[in-house]
A and B are shown apart, each in its own frame.
Chain A
Amino acid sequence: MRTSVLIVEDEPEFTRRFSDAVLADAGLNLVGAVSTGRAAKAMLDAERPDVMLVDLGLPDMNGVDVIRYAATRYPKCDILVVTMFGDDQHVLASIEAGATGYLLKDAVAERIAASIHELHAGGSPISPGIARRVLARFRIGPTPAAGPEANPPSAEAAALLTERETELLRLTAKGLNFETIGQLMGISPHTVVAHVKKIYRKLAVHSRAEAVYEAGQLGLL
């Protein structure tokens, strides 16, 4: 069973680059390459792809909206956000909307295909900068020894993240690589990235719940 892939990218050069990379891989099946958010939604409804590659800067809407649409309607769809520099802010916004991985725009063809496979197989990458931000979103300090009173984990965050997940984020935020973290925690690198994907999904749920809660507070719901 080949993995079906939808590409959402408005820059023809990169549409071509990503399409070539997908087409070149025998395990991947390109179901479409579209350049607008509307078309992306239509393709999602029609094709229900396994993986969506999405650029954030679309002509008709923000890529984050497409991500949110896919994540809420098709939770089984893995979303890979395409970023130019892998800067934390954009990546985090995408993760909160429901993305579970990200891809650098200059990645070589093999890397593109490998990233799609890794993501679909259940693992997600995470950089120290993003780990720090995720911890902050869950209101957990990156270094618990520094001052647990100053930044106590909220009850909901504590309920959301397991102890191992929190530990993993903390080690990543300190700049350790997955190999080292795996050794420290007694798990394989594969399990590490699987944890990361779970964390991303929880963060999306968490931020959606927060948005609902805040909307309720504002009297919007």
Chain B
Amino acid sequence: MLTAPDAAPPARARSWQEVPLPDIWRQARPGVRPATTWYRIDFDYAPGRQPGEPWALYLPYLSDGGQVWVNGAPAGSVRESSETIHIRWARPHLVTLPASLLRPGSNELAVRVALPQDGAAVGFPRPDIGPLAQLQPIYERRFFWVNTTPQITAAVCLLVSGFVLFIWWRRRIEVLYGLFGLAAGLWGIRTLTFVIETVPLERWLLWRLTYLGATGGFIVAMAVLALRFAGIRRPWVERALAFYWLLGPVWLLAGGAAVEPLVNRYWIAGFLPVGLAIVVISLWTMWRQRTLVAAVLPAAMVIAVLTGLHDYLVNWSFGGAAQLLLPGWAGHRIFLLHHGANLILVAMGGLLTARFIGSLAALEGMNQMLETRVADRERELSANYARLAQLQREHAAAQERQLIMRDIHDGLGSQLFVSLSRVERGDMQGQQVADALRGCIADMRLALGTLTPEDSDFRATLGDFLFRWETQLRTAGIHPAWTIDVPEGALEVKPHAALQLLRVAQEALTNVLKHAHASRVQVRLRQVGDLLELQVEDDGHGGAAAPTDSGRGMNNMRARAQQLGGRLDVRNGAEGTCVSLQVPVNAVLA
């Protein structure tokens, strides 16, 4: 090698030094300011079986560009930085060596390695010279890893970031999403620096600022994320991390391009303990939670931090540490951090997706629980209603019972007591006693008839009542007939109301039997509009209406009609008597 700014290969006679390749400037010449350097390599050209097969020079990296000369003639060049543009190549280079320049046997290759703009000299890799067909796949593989992969990574990171930040924007409470979105976005921006290799000079500083800010921001965001994931909330730690993050870019801004190597070297180094802290916190989280999910992130973090450490060492080769640990490898300058970081992003994305799915499941579970509760409540409520209705029914039934009991007490009871008293006084003759007792039995039958629990159809109740009367009337020579004219379907009358209706009918029929001297009696039950009408009509001489001793009976009938909210009409004429009771249907229906 020879340090010289010459535009063409310096003469062989000059003070060339022999160096092993790769020749890493900072390692080989620590403390010496980098400069444009020429490397000269002698190699043998042996044309293959196919004549004219092209040969090529493969350079894994040539960060700042340069020129390739063969046997003193230019064979190709890689663009160098200029006054207007700043270039840092991440990609490998493959330079085809024209067959015309090669000669069988020994050949001389000279490569000019351009001076890096920011003074961050890199060095010269171990090149490969050989048939193009052999070198092409090697070149393409490296190109894929150092150029295509970052492109994909940048695109995916920015997309995911936008998506996750949108979620966070809509749901501010999901801070983890916000941090992840931020980290992914910053990583995407950082990765862009590997994709965009040429930058106009006036934007170079801004570009490096962006790079540093994104790198630092990514690490800080990951650190906060790890803390939050572990359930640790230390605002001052988070503030300190944010402050340190700003420190690098501010330093670069204040010092200009000249301080960039220092910023790179010392500020970035400061993130190594942060990375280690992330690993420790993550391992602690994993230890506490002991789930596969909890293990994913720390594992990815460890790998990423290790790759970061690796990259740092490769870049700066501290005290030859990298050389000691990985001799020969460092010279390849293969940076691993963005693959490691991709791993973290994938792990994080997986975890957040798992969280998202978990949330959905929890939501569904909650919905289900809610539905069950609502159903339970509904059941309880309907049970309550049923109980209430039952109570109401029982109450109504109790009331009905009470009414009928009072009726029996006042009617049958008093009749028995009055009869007893009269018999003991000797005031009643045999036939009168029998009549009184028959009256009591008839009363009792009425009460029993209307109290039959399951039969509440008044048509049947009245039918039974008339059926019992039929024999009695026929025996007395009175021809009975009855018609029931109510709408189809059961006529559900309240038991007490039924009892009142039958009492009226009983009274009327008793009067006919005793006083009317009739030959026919007609009983009619019909519903006219809102009124239920019960009619007892005979063809006697009118005695059924106003016999002296049944005035009380008539009054009784009127009182019962009033009780039912209806009225009693008695039509009395030479052609017979008609007792007509009209009550509102609503008052008697159950």
Report the minimum CB–CB distance from B359 to chain A (whole Å). 52
A-B contact pairs, 29 of them (CB 8 A): A85-B448, A87-B452, A104-B468, A108-B475, A110-B475, A127-B464, A127-B467, A128-B459, A128-B460, A129-B449, A129-B455, A129-B461, A132-B457, A132-B460, A143-B488, A145-B488, A146-B489, A172-B463, A173-B463, A174-B460, A174-B484, A175-B459, A175-B460, A175-B466, A176-B463, A176-B484, A177-B463, A177-B467, A177-B480
Please provide the 3 A-B residue pairs with the shortest distance between their CB atoms, ordered closest to farther.
A175-B463, A128-B463, A175-B459
Binding site for B on A (CB under 8 A): 85-88, 104, 106, 108, 110-111, 125, 127-129, 132, 143, 145-146, 172-177, 179-180
What separation, in Å, do the CA atoms of A132 and B462 have in the docked complex?
Answer: 13
What separation, in Å, do the CA atoms of A85 and B452 have in the docked complex?
Answer: 12
Q: For residue B449, which residues in chain A have a CB less than 8 angstroms away from its CB? A: 129
Report the minimum CB–CB distance from A5 to chain B (whole Å). 20
What separation, in Å, do the CA atoms of A128 and B455 have in the docked complex?
Answer: 11
> In the complex, are the beta carbons of A87 and B448 less than 8 A apart?
yes
On chain B, the number of residues with a Cβ less than 8 Å from chain A's Cβ atoms is 28
Contacts A143-B488, A177-B467; A85 near B444 (Cβ below 8 A): yes
Scan B433-475; emit 1 where CB is below 8 A from any A CB, else 0: 0000010010011001100100101011111101110110001
Among the listed B444, B463, B480, B484, which residue makes an inter-chain contact with A127, where contact means beta carbons less than 8 Å apart? B463
Knowing that A104-B468, A128-B464 touch, tell me 15 more A-B residue pairs with CB under 8 angstroms: A87-B448, A88-B452, A125-B467, A127-B464, A127-B467, A128-B467, A129-B449, A129-B452, A132-B455, A143-B488, A175-B464, A175-B484, A177-B467, A177-B482, A179-B481
Report the minimum CB–CB distance from B490 to chain A (whole Å). 8
Report the minimum CB–CB distance from B477 to chain A (whole Å). 13
Question: What is the count of residue pairs linking A and B with beta-carbon distances less than 8 angstroms?
Answer: 69
Report the minimum CB–CB distance from B558 to chain A (whole Å). 26
Q: For residue B444, which residues in chain A have a CB less than 8 angstroms away from its CB? A: 85
> In the complex, are the beta carbons of A106 and B438 less than 8 A apart?
yes
Contacts A111-B475, A143-B489; A173 near B460 (Cβ below 8 A): yes
> In the complex, are the beta carbons of B468 and A127 less than 8 A apart?
yes
What separation, in Å, do the CA atoms of A83 and B463 have in the docked complex?
Answer: 19
Q: Is the interface of B mostly helix, strand, loop or mixed?
A: helix
> In the complex, are the beta carbons of B489 and A174 less than 8 A apart?
no
Report the minimum CB–CB distance from B478 to chain A (whole Å). 14
Report the minimum CB–CB distance from A174 to chain B (whole Å). 6
Q: For residue A173, which residues in chain B have a CB less than 8 angstroms away from its CB? A: 460, 463
Report the minimum CB–CB distance from A106 to chain B (whole Å). 6
Closest chain B residue to A88 by CB distance? B452
> In the complex, are the beta carbons of B471 and A111 less than 8 A apart?
yes
Give chain B interface residues in 28-74, CB to chain A under 8 Å.
none
> In the complex, are the beta carbons of A129 and B488 less than 8 A apart?
no
Q: For residue B484, which residues in chain A have a CB less than 8 angstroms away from its CB? A: 174-176
Closest chain B residue to A106 by CB distance? B441
Report the minimum CB–CB distance from A170 to chain B (whole Å). 12
What separation, in Å, do the CA atoms of A128 and B471 have in the docked complex?
Answer: 15
> In the complex, are the beta carbons of B481 and A177 less than 8 A apart?
yes
Report the minimum CB–CB distance from B485 to chain A (whole Å). 11
Give chain B interface residues in 419-439, CB to chain A under 8 Å.
438
What separation, in Å, do the CA atoms of A128 and B525 have in the docked complex?
Answer: 15
Q: For residue B445, which residues in chain A have a CB less than 8 angstroms away from its CB? A: 85-86
Report the minimum CB–CB distance from B536 to chain A (whole Å). 15
Q: For residue B464, which residues in chain A have a CB less than 8 angstroms away from its CB? A: 127-129, 175
Closest chain B residue to A146 by CB distance? B489
What separation, in Å, do the CA atoms of A179 and B484 have in the docked complex?
Answer: 14
Closest chain B residue to A87 by CB distance? B448
Closest chain A residue to B459 by CB distance? A175
Report the minimum CB–CB distance from B486 to chain A (whole Å). 10
What separation, in Å, do the CA atoms of A91 and B483 have in the docked complex?
Answer: 26
Closest chain A residue to B480 by CB distance? A177
What separation, in Å, do the CA atoms of A146 and B487 have in the docked complex?
Answer: 12
What separation, in Å, do the CA atoms of A111 and B460 have in the docked complex?
Answer: 24
What separation, in Å, do the CA atoms of A62 and B514 have in the docked complex?
Answer: 39
Report the minimum CB–CB distance from A120 to chain B (whole Å). 17
Closest chain B residue to A128 by CB distance? B463
Closest chain A residue to B451 by CB distance? A87
Q: For residue A108, which residues in chain B have a CB less than 8 angstroms away from its CB? A: 475
What separation, in Å, do the CA atoms of A132 and B454 have in the docked complex?
Answer: 11
What separation, in Å, do the CA atoms of A64 and B254 have in the docked complex?
Answer: 119
